[in-house]
Amino acid sequence: MGEFELIRNYFAAAPCAQAGEGVALGIGDDCALLAVPAGEQLAISTDTLVAGVHFADPCDPFLLGQRSLAVAVSDLAAMGATPLAFTLALTLPMDSADWLQAFARGLNAMAQSCGVRLVGGDTTRGPLSLTMTVLGRVPTGLALTRSGAQPGDLLCVGGELGNAAGALPLVLGQRTAEPAIAEPLLAHYWSPQPQLALGQALRGKATSALDISDGLLADCGHIATASAVGLLIESEKLPLSKALRAFLGQNAARVAALSGGDDYVLAFTLPPAELPQLLADGWPVHVVGRVVAGQGVTLLAADGQDITPATRGYQHFRETP
């Protein structure tokens, strides 16, 4: 099957690839054409997922299609952006019809759930990898960034932490668990739900934000650096699911929440005066610490002791001894 036939058969005809709001011209020409309303800015982010690094190989292609788009769209949520479109660069070792059909179904399901449209991309032969570029729109001046945190702000997260890291032994076949424990953990790993609505609700309220991909400690370090502040995280305040605690135990669950990564939950700083209304409106805001003058991220025990671990999260190019 040729490249253009592959695109036409499995992607161009998908519901998520049809014209819609904000997409003036989609797949079929050298470029897509997007329409961004006056008074808004275009938000753009690119994520690459590599087999054996970001996901097990082999794995279920339907689940991979869902996950690959969700983790990219999560960056739009972190900026408070409304999803608009995405492109897919797909490198395949072979053109298996069954694999492509399942992958395209998973991709389309997540695209429709997030309200984002496929407008182009590329296909080539080689080791399995996927590169997603997502585009969104946000009112001028209201994008959430990492650089606005102020001493006195609360450090918050938008949901439970550590579930995806807890699922990894299940994904890799290293452990098993009863369905009541395994299913919620695996669902969080394979089908993370970008917190788009929360990100938009935080516009004009949060002073900084990002999505947690490499672990709470590591990612909060980006806020601390960009904002030139210190962040204190209280270990006893981490929101941990019942399934995670049952599967790993309390201590290991806390480690997964702090440094496991793949949560795709928003972490953000918030003036205390903004918290009551967000909670009253039903947003899943959990206060896990605070912003202080200083630098870096410190983990505190219940008695206030500094228990910051040396390893804080995943890094692709960490030097080894």
CATH for 239: 3.90.650.10
**Would you state the pLDDT for residue 13?**
75
Q: Is the pLDDT of residue 133 over 90?
A: yes
**Would you state the pLDDT for residue 14?**
81
Is 88 contained in some domain? yes
Q: In the chain, how many domains are there?
A: 2
Is 147 contained in some domain? no
Token pair recorded at residue 92 = 């395949």
**Would you state the pLDDT for residue 6?**
76
Q: Is the pLDDT of residue 314 over 60?
A: no
**pLDDT mean over 275-280:** 98
User: Mind listing the pLDDT tens digit for each residue in 117-131?
Assistant: 999 989 999 999 999
Is 253 contained in some domain? yes
**Would you state the pLDDT for residue 26?**
86
Q: Is the pLDDT of residue 112 over 90?
A: yes
Q: Is the pLDDT of residue 85 over 50?
A: yes
**Would you state the pLDDT for residue 1?**
60
Q: Is the pLDDT of residue 316 over 60?
A: no
Is 0.85 topped by the overall pTM?
yes
Does residue 230 share a domain with residue 119? Answer: no
Buried b vs exposed e over 149-184: b needs ≥16 C-beta within 10 Å?
beeebbbbbbbbbbbbbbbbebbeeeeebeeebbeb
Q: Is the pLDDT of residue 203 over 50?
A: yes
**pLDDT mean over 178-200:** 97
Does residue 116 share a domain with residue 217? Answer: no
**Would you state the pLDDT for residue 283?**
98
Confidence of residue 317 (pLDDT cuts 50, 70, 90): very low
User: Mind listing the pLDDT tens digit for each residue in 216-268?
Assistant: 999 999 999 999 999 999 999 999 999 999 999 999 999 999 999 999 999 99
Three-state secondary structure of 146-210 = CCCCCCCCEEEECCCCCHHHHHHHHHCCCCCCCHHHHHHHHHHHHCCCCCHHHHHHCCCCCCEEE
Is 288 contained in some domain? yes
**Would you state the pLDDT for residue 30?**
87
Show the domain range for 189.
154-300
Q: Which of 81, 111, 139 is the last residue of a domain?
A: 139
Does residue 193 share a domain with residue 102? Answer: no
**pLDDT mean over 64-71:** 96
**Would you state the pLDDT for residue 164?**
96
Does residue 164 share a domain with residue 47? Answer: no
CA separation for the pair 47, 50 (Å, rounded): 10
**Would you state the pLDDT for residue 20?**
76
